[in-house]
A and B are shown apart, each in its own frame.
Chain A
Amino acid sequence: DQQVKQNSPSLSVQEGRISILNCDYTNSMFDYFLWYKKYPAEGPTFLISISSIKDKNEDGRFTVFLNKSAKHLSLHIVPSQPGDSAVYFCAAKRPSGTYKYIFGTGTRLKVLA
């Protein structure tokens, strides 16, 4: 039972264009969402997060949008750069009082120069 889904295993985007990575979840009780980026042979690194009480969070070229009614979040990267090529995981934190996160399956982004 995959509670956090990333339905696109891969995405290719031209350098300078917008990259949009999507994530759907099933549990309306999730209260915090995070995006991690993973390069080959390295562990995931935190990228950006959003609380369930917000609908947008921005950090430089990265913006995360949360649509609670649709149980959907997305990561926008503008403009995309070749160094953004990596696997991106979304993660949802289970309701308050636990430390458990559920990760999506990841989307491999390739930014073409």
Chain B
Amino acid sequence: DVKVTQSSRYLVKRTGEKVFLECVQDMDHENMFWYRQDPGLGLRLIYFSYDVKMKEKGDIPEGYSVSREKKERFSLILESASTNQTSMYLCASSPWRGANEQFFGPGTRLTVL
């Protein structure tokens, strides 16, 4: 079974803090994704990566950056957290470039005070 793990289930941070969300997948998948899920808006893509050190912006990259130094790990960074970044963050991976199915982690509920 593919396993996608996220470092925290719940996180509370203060405005202006730098926040790191970590995601690890154990199936040697090429692609990794970061989404945020908000009520009434579904899942929105923040960034994705199709290879180590490669990244592309999704639909809502503003205020976020990412890092993929190893194939199995994809980090989402909030350089200076703001209250409008309070959300559920979901990491996903997929096996190869053309794969359709994504495998999701359990999510991190981030609250920025």
Residues of A within 8 A of B (CB): 4, 6, 32, 34, 36, 41-46, 49, 89, 91, 93, 99-101, 103-106
Contacts and interface: CB of A to CB of B under 8 A. Distances in A.
A42 B103 CA distance: 11
Contacts of A41: 9, 106-107
Interface stretch (B39-47, B60-68, B75-83): B39-47
Interface in B69-89: none
Nearest to B38: A105
B102 interface: yes
Contacts of B31: 99
Contacts, number: 52
A49 B41 CA distance: 21
Contact of B104 (A4, A32, A44, A100): A44
A6 B43 CA distance: 12
* Residue in A46, A93, A99, A103 with the greatest tally of chain B CB atoms within 10 Å: A99
The 8 closest A-B pairs by CB, nearest first: A43-B104, A103-B43, A105-B42, A103-B42, A46-B101, A44-B104, A43-B106, A43-B105
B45 A101 contact: yes
A42 B45 contact: no
Contacts of A89: 42-43
B104 A99 contact: no
B42 to A, nearest CB: 4
A74 to B, nearest CB: 17
A99 B101 contact: no
24 contacts: A6-B42, A34-B101, A41-B9, A41-B106, A42-B107, A43-B90, A43-B105, A43-B106, A44-B43, A44-B90, A46-B101, A49-B100, A89-B43, A91-B43, A93-B100, A99-B31, A99-B48, A100-B45, A101-B45, A103-B35, A103-B42, A105-B41, A105-B42, A106-B42
B14 to A, nearest CB: 25
Given A41-B106, A43-B90, A103 B44 contact: yes
B100 A45 contact: no
